[in-house]
């Protein structure tokens, strides 16, 4: 006796298949944004969210791991509120994804200035409405502002101590000193200024810019630069 094709499927499998077909139909047919309802802007389907989203809603509701670290002091391994770590809090509870994108491509997901140091890199994005159900985002933001205020005071005191220590190790420039020729001359204060300027410059180094500059260099140019390194024509010494 021949079985019908559907006889091999259980009732649960039928419901799952029906759910998937309905979801595909909705994502293909409904062209408006599932968050704001606009028809004026283009939308993209997000399978896990079950709706299409315009770029404005994507930028508003996605938050990157870098923003979570800078604004909320959240890292993947650090305990957060009632959870052992951030990963335990978001797994199976929050929609998130990682993608390797350029700065222009990151604009499709974020318009936060924190997300734009450097060039192409891998970024983790998390759906903020889901995070609000798992974590108290408002409390974390308030705590983050207080921590930033305290950190700025600590940095200012540390910078002041460094400057004072550097100055104390240099003889005052107004103190006269007898030179080898028997003439009183002022101490050179430029070494102290250089050390202070060096600390300030190194603190602002953008490693992403350096990486982007080196990665965009074609191989032939890199070979020529390497061959000409520490070389000079003889006439320079004449």
To the nearest whole percent, how much of the chain has pLDDT over 90?
4
pLDDT per position as a tens digit, 75-115: 888 888 888 888 888 888 888 988 888 888 888 898 888 88
Three-class SS state of 119: coil
Instruction: Give the Cα separation of 34 and 163 in Å (integer).
Output: 55
pLDDT per position as a tens digit, 29-38: 888 888 888 8
- pLDDT score of 178 more than 50: no
In this prediction, residue 210 carries a pLDDT of 53
In this prediction, residue 61 carries a pLDDT of 92
- pLDDT score of 8 more than 50: yes
Higher local confidence (pLDDT), 142 or 196 = 142
| In the chain, domain spans | 24-135, 171-200
Higher local confidence (pLDDT), 156 or 162 = 156
- pLDDT score of 211 more than 70: no
- pLDDT score of 11 more than 70: yes
Mean pLDDT value of segment 184-201: 64
């Amino acid at each position: 006796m021949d079985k019908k094709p559907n006889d091999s499927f259980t009732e649960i499998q039928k419901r799952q298949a029906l759910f998937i077909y309905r979801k595909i139909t909705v994502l293909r047919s409904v062209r408006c944004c599932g968050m704001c309802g606009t028809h004026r802007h283009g939308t993209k389907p997000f399978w896990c969210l079950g709706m299409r989203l315009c770029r404005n809603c994507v930028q508003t509701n996605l938050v990157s791991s870098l923003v979570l670290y800078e604004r909320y002091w959240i890292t993947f391994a650090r305990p957060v509120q009632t959870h052992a770590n951030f990963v335990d809090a978001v797994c199976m509870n929050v929609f998130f994804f990682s993608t390797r994108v350029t700065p222009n491509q990151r604009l499709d997901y974020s318009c936060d200035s924190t997300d734009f140091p450097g060039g192409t890199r891998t970024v983790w994005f998390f759906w903020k409405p889901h995070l609000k159900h798992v974590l108290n985002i408002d409390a974390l933001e308030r705590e983050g502002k207080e921590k930033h205020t305290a950190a700025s005071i600590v940095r200012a005191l540390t910078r002041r101590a460094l400057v004072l220590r550097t100055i104390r190790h240099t003889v005052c420039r107004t103190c006269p000193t007898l030179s080898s020729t028997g003439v009183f001359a002022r101490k050179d204060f430029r070494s102290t200024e250089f050390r202070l300027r060096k600390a300030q410059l190194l603190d602002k180094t953008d490693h992403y810019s350096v990486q982007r500059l080196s990665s965009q260099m074609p191989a032939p140019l890199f070979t020529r630069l390497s061959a000409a390194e520490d070389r000079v024509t003889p006439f320079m010494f004449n």
